[in-house]
């Protein structure tokens, strides 16, 4: 193998490796602030007087807010942290898809706390922590969609 062929293969390998990486740029700051908002929402009430930490731990709450808490903290906090650390396109798409599911279940969890299936009084209502968490998940979703969709086409 000639030196020119060797250099061409090495350049191609570096190019392929660079094509798999993301550069969140200033979006990383927004992602970090939204993750911080998710963590702060843990100490605030989510369902009635039940705090976000109690919901994450599965203590006395309905299924939908608990499912949202798993998406929010599993994908929103842990997934975003891993994606920012490894900077891979695949992880950016995992965060995008997981946060989409999380945003849908978040809106459903707010709605489920405002309505009931009978003529009884309305449920305990969404707490401020749940509302902050849903907004933070939606902000994370928008940022990860922009980052994941910004990949240039492969040549």
Residue 153: predicted pLDDT: 58
Phi and psi based region of residue 50 (left: phi greater than 0; alpha: psi -120 to 50; beta: remaining) = beta
Whether 25 is in a domain gets the answer: no
Residue 135: predicted pLDDT: 96
Residue 155: predicted pLDDT: 45
Task: Please state, as a whole number, how many other Cβ atoms lie within 10 Å of the Cβ of residue 152.
Answer: 6
Whether 1 is in a domain gets the answer: no
CA 148 remoteness from chain centre: 13
3-class SS string, the chain: CCHHHHHHHHHHHHHHHHHCECCCCCHHHHHHHHHHHHHHHCCCEEECCEEHHHHHCCCCCCHHHHHHHHHHHHHHHHHHHHHHHHCEHHHHHHHHHHHHHHHHHHHHHHHHHHCCCCCCCCCCCECHHHHHHHHHHHHHHHHHHHHHHCCCCCC
The C-alpha atoms of residue 60 and residue 96 are separated, in whole angstroms, by: 29
Residue 15: predicted pLDDT: 66
Whether 155 is in a domain gets the answer: no
Residue 141: predicted pLDDT: 96
Residue 85: predicted pLDDT: 92
Q: What is the residue range of 105's domain?
A: 38-149
Percent of the chain with pLDDT over 70: 84
What is the number of structural domains in the chain?
1
**Structure pTM?**
0.82
Residue 113: predicted pLDDT: 80
Residue 133: predicted pLDDT: 96
> Contact 126/110 with Cβ under 8 angstroms?
yes
Whether 49 is in a domain gets the answer: yes
The C-alpha atoms of residue 131 and residue 46 are separated, in whole angstroms, by: 8
Whether 23 is in a domain gets the answer: no
The residues of the chain scoring below 70 in pLDDT are 12-20, 60, 116-124, 152-155
Whether 77 is in a domain gets the answer: yes
Whether 79 is in a domain gets the answer: yes
Whether 65 is in a domain gets the answer: yes
């Amino acid at each position: 193998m000639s030196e020119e062929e060797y250099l061409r293969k090495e350049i191609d390998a570096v190019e392929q490796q660079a094509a798999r990486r993301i550069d969140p740029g200033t979006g990383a700051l927004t992602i970090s602030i939204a993750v911080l908002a998710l963590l702060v929402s843990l100490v605030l009430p989510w369902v009635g007087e039940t705090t976000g930490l109690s919901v994450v731990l599965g203590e006395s709450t309905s299924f939908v807010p608990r499912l949202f808490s798993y998406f929010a903290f599993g994908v929103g906090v842990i997934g975003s942290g891993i994606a920012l650390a490894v900077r891979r396109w695949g992880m950016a798409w995992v965060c995008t898809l997981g946060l989409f599911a999380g945003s849908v279940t978040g809106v459903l969890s707010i709605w489920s706390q405002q309505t009931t299936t009978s003529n009884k009084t309305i449920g305990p209502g969404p707490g401020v922590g749940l509302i902050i968490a849903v907004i933070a998940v939606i902000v994370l979703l928008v940022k990860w969609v922009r980052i994941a969709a910004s990949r240039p086409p492969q040549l």
